[in-house]
Amino acid sequence: MFYRFLSKLATQERLEAFPVPIPNSDKSGWMPVTKNYEQNFKPIDTGFNGVVMYQAPRYEELGPHGLCLRFHKGKENEVPPDIWGVEGRLIVSDKVRRVIESVDEMSHEYIQIQCIDHQEKPIATEQNYYWFNQRRFLKITPSDRVATREELGFCPFQGEEDFLANVLDARLLRECIEKFPLWQHYGIEGISGRLSPARCVLYLNQFMFNELTKKKLSGIDLYSQKFGVGEESLIEL
């Protein structure tokens, strides 16, 4: 078994806070150029035909980067979820970082971000938040068919329905990917892929899920009903 995480905040307009460039910075450098990011993926042999793993580069290797979380007016005292995604970026708290670092042998990148109000003044928070550069990507051979909403329990994004169909149908393939603590799918390439909501989807194996839920982290509640309710963000696969 593994899990699909997608913060509902990634697709909703109602946000307490949203990512913006660092005030007074060169706003053209707050995110690495797409082609530089994906062109620096390093393939890693998984030993399984049908799954290629890539290690993404660190943003720090590609030039200037950084962002802030700017809160809407009147939302300055809101507490962001421990894990969420918006605009193709994953945001995690100190609590999530500690769990990931204790479980996953791959070195991911955590870029500390500053919380600011609508006037761009700093806001103190109880813990640090990070722009999470998840560095494990899997390219999974797609199936000749597509997985349906009824099979999955959610509506898949473009690029998910074909490879997930293969995962549902092939037991050995599933057993292979269930070994990885967390990963994202390297499906749609180029600028379309980087800006797609699908890039906010994070897949977790059972052990990572168990360790995260032990900490009672916000933003990662398991669906309590088929297709989910409210802002619950996690579903079993």
For residues 163-200, b (16+ Cβ closer than 10 Å) or e, as one string?
Answer: bbbbbbeeeebeebbeebbbbbbbbbeeeebbebbbbb
pLDDT tens, 81-95?
899 887 778 899 999
pLDDT tens, 30-67?
666 667 888 899 999 998 989 999 999 998 888 777 88
CB 233 within 8 A of CB 219: yes
pLDDT tier for residue 161 given thresholds of 50, 70 and 90 = confident
Give residue 201's domain range: 2-236
* Mean per-residue pLDDT, 70-87: 85
Reported pTM: 0.89
The Cα 103–Cα 227 span in angstroms is 29
pLDDT (0 to 100) of residue 86? 78
* Mean per-residue pLDDT, 167-180: 93
pLDDT tens, 139-151?
998 888 888 888 8
The Cα 184–Cα 56 span in angstroms is 11
pLDDT (0 to 100) of residue 135? 97
* Mean per-residue pLDDT, 153-172: 86
**Residue 235 confidence (pLDDT) above 90:** no
Q: Give me the number of domains the chain comprises.
A: 1
pLDDT tens, 92-116?
999 999 999 999 999 999 999 989 9
